[in-house]
Structure 1
Amino acid sequence: MALKDSPEPYICPVKQLEFTLNTTRTCTSCGAVVFGQEKYNHLSLSLSAHLRHSLEHYFMPSPLECKCWDCSGSMASVSTHFLTLPRVLMLHVKRFCADDWEPKKVEDPMFIPEELTLQGLCGETVQPGDSTIDSQRVRSLGNNSVVNTPPNCPSSSASNGSDQQAKAADREKRQQTATVRYQPEPVYRLSSVISHLGDSLYTGHYITDLLDSHGSGWLCMDDARVRRTDVATVLRTRAHTAYILFYVGSGACEGDQAPKMQN
């Protein structure tokens, strides 16, 4: 008797939305650096005139009040970039704000591009084991690593050739066995727009414009009503109402390593 084919393992759809951000926290007093990694499945963006501007604002370095473990300094600069990329990038636009402690709907227009790249939002950071870091100055904290070496400060172990060769061999081994794949920077194309129609947080209606996966074009889904539309109409009419955007990456799979910035 022939055996039935085994069912394919279940894969949660949210996996396609997941990505990892790398955070670099630099003490403004002594230059000590803390690297951290955190998984996300969406980004919440402040509303601006262009979606690209909102993305860039999210990744801008920002000051942070925190205590340095090395010098007890109280301020640091925090910067973030993509470490891995999602198959589907979900972007939430903050269309509600607090006005005198009351939520207010913001209907300012935002330009929504049909194509989106993450150029300038991906970068490389020095990781523990690199030859520029003294191994005696690195402490591991779960997913974080603390480097107590100020920027551009030479490592005290740089003169030890055997240590450098061992570190280089270890890096090469880790790169060869890494499960994260490196891919060229993908182009993300708009695939769906969820819009909020209404004047306030407490009233309104949600509709969805989406690109039909079967290739028949764009559809506008409004409860039981489904009608055909096109991308030009979506980009024009949803500029004031877009609330959640979905972009699908071409040539990207969940977990792909983010491309590094070119010097």
Structure 2
Amino acid sequence: MQNTRTCKSCGAQSTRQEDFSNLSLNLAPGGSVQQMLQDYLMETELDFHCECGGNKSGQQSTFATLPKVLMLHLKRFQFTPFLQLEKLSDPIDLYRELLVTSAQADGWYSLASVISHLGSGGNEGHYVSDGMHPDTQLDDPADLWLAFNDTKVTESTGAAVCKQRQRTAYVLFYQRRVREQDYQPDTRL
């Protein structure tokens, strides 16, 4: 990721790059993963004393390069004012396809796996995983997925996972499409 800080008074900029293994996204109830990623990349205001005397700056993150696998952590847990851990079960729209922009180019990603937290609270619950069948290609119309719940493994589809895990998805794994120039996303999902 590339982080750029810009002074609101004089426009002076400072840029640094950081390596990330995943991005933690704030929930946008009723929103989509695409929207939450765009919110993450929006400029934020911060207090910063510039040499010009200005005290306000903006900071914006962008992808310097696009990873092969994009891991997105959805912030489903928060502390109450009384420091109790609570789970947020707000529904979000999970889409099979995700467009990510970077300084180099745009890239299409396909959802390959979802880790979900089942349970009502932050101190209890159970984790399950759904993932594409290993013999299934990203654009395979069969759309065969597997649901893993301890020792029980059942068949599913990506469309069913996106619908079923709207309130429980916790970590999303998106795989970059190899032949992006030939790719046209299925907007029906």
2:171 corresponds to 1:189? no
Q: Which runs of 5+ in 1 are unaligned?
A: 1-20, 124-181, 253-263
**Per-residue deviation, 1:188:** 0.4
The aligned residue for residue 30 of structure 1 is 10
* Identity in percent: 38
- Residue by residue over 1:113-142, the C-alpha shift from the partner in whole angstroms, topping out at 9 and shown as x without a partner, is 1011114xx24xxxxxxxxxxxxxxxxxxx
Among candidates 144, 152, 166, match of residue 225 of structure 1: 152
Among candidates 41, 60, 64, match of residue 21 of structure 2: 41
Task: Measure the CA separation in 1 of the matches of 2:133 and 2:112.
Answer: 8
Task: Measure the CA separation in 1 of the matches of 2:93 and 2:152.
Answer: 26
**Per-residue deviation, 1:73:** 2.2
Work out whether residues 34 and 99 of structure 2, in 8 Å CA contact, stay in contact via their aligned partners in 1: no
The aligned residue for residue 62 of structure 1 is 44
Among candidates 89, 105, 115, match of residue 107 of structure 1: 89
Q: Which runs of 5+ in 2 are unaligned?
A: 137-141, 180-189
The 5 A counterparts of 1:85-100 are 85-100=66-81
Structure 2 counterpart of 1:90, one-letter code:
M
The 5 A counterparts of 1:141-160 are none
The aligned residue for residue 139 of structure 2 is none
Structure index of larger Rg: 1
Work out whether residues 218 and 230 of structure 1, in 8 Å CA contact, stay in contact via their aligned partners in 2: yes
**Per-residue deviation, 1:72:** 3.3
2:107 corresponds to 1:199? no
SS in 2 for 1:116: strand
Q: TM-score, normalized by length of structure 1? A: 0.62
- Residue by residue over 1:8-27, the C-alpha shift from the partner in whole angstroms, topping out at 9 and shown as x without a partner, is xxxxxxxxxxxxx1111111
2:56 corresponds to 1:75? yes
2:35 corresponds to 1:53? yes
SS in 2 for 1:229: strand
CA RMSD of aligned residues (A): 1.5
**Per-residue deviation, 1:52:** 1.1
Task: Measure the CA separation in 2 of the matches of 1:77 and 1:118.
Answer: 22
Query: Whose helix proportion is higher, 1 or 2?
Result: 1
Aligned residues: 170
Task: Measure the CA separation in 1 of the matches of 2:129 and 2:100.
Answer: 24
**Per-residue deviation, 1:64:** 0.9
Work out whether residues 66 and 107 of structure 2, in 8 Å CA contact, stay in contact via their aligned partners in 1: no
SS in 2 for 1:56: helix
Task: Measure the CA separation in 2 of the matches of 1:35 and 1:106.
Answer: 34
Structure 2 counterpart of 1:249, one-letter code:
R
Work out whether residues 85 and 123 of structure 2, in 8 Å CA contact, stay in contact via their aligned partners in 1: no
The 5 A counterparts of 1:209-224 are 209-215=130-136, 217-224=144-151
Higher relative contact order (CA 8 A, sep 6+): 1
**Per-residue deviation, 1:185:** 2.8
**Per-residue deviation, 1:212:** 1.5
